[in-house]
Amino acid sequence: MSKYSCFNIKTKDHICSLVLNRPNELNTMTRDFWVELGDALEEINRDSDIRVVILSSTGKHFCAGMDLSAFSNGVDDIPDSKMREMAYTGRRMLADEAKDSGLVGEIYETQDEMLDAVHKLAAEIASKSPVAIYGLKAVMNYSRDHNVSDSLDFNALWSGAMLSQADMTEAMTAQMEKRDASFDKMVDVKKFNESKS
């Protein structure tokens, strides 16, 4: 039995599936949802064997949004103009518009087709060096909020300090030998008081 009431978590082959699991309530985001989401993500973050996370849901709808009965305060600020439009009008955004707006990457006929495609993508990402993927995320997140010059400096600093020579060697060797690369897992994430140093 899952220790969460709003989620199920399964991990296989470096891929974690985090599944919203309240289909009868349309997977609404209750107070428990927000508490459990933080706990679940902390659990996932501390598992250094996980390289990719797939967030999916059960039921007819992915998520019906906030359970407004559980909250007295609404959303204070939604910076994106499309999200403001949706919030102000209350209209539904259909799949084609969501794809055109860049909110979703692809549209699938069935949930099974979507999950198959997402698992293939996750497996491809999980097959890469976990240090390289972690670094790419850090560089891309930094670049989103900084100018080009600062971003290039951050990229050079991060790459010089963190990229693994062993992973680069393994990737090149595997490519020459026409086999899948095998990378070491990342160092376990520990809380400050768990460190022995």
Distances, alpha carbon 166 to alpha carbons 13, 46, 150, 189, in Å: 21, 23, 28, 21
Residue 7 has φ and ψ, to the nearest 5°, of: -140, 155
Residue 29 has φ and ψ, to the nearest 5°, of: -90, 95
Give domain limits for the chain: 7-72+109-126, 130-194
Amino acid at 42: E
Q: What is the pLDDT of residue 40?
A: 93
Closest CA to 133 of 173, 181, 177: 181
Q: Do domains 7-72+109-126 and 130-194 have the same CATH topology?
A: no
d(CA 19, CA 7): 5
Q: Which fold has domain 130-194?
A: Lyase 2-enoyl-coa Hydratase; Chain  A, domain 2 (1.10.12)
Residues making up the chain, counted from first to last:
197
Q: What is the pTM of this model?
A: 0.63
What does pLDDT average to in each consecutive run of 10 residues of the chain (197 residues)?
A: 85 94 89 90 90 90 74 46 76 82 84 91 90 88 89 88 83 90 82 70
Q: What is the pLDDT of residue 105?
A: 85
For 7-72+109-126, CATH gives: 3.90.226.10
Burial environment of residue 121 by CB neighbours within 10 A (0 to 12, 13 to 18, 19 or more): middle
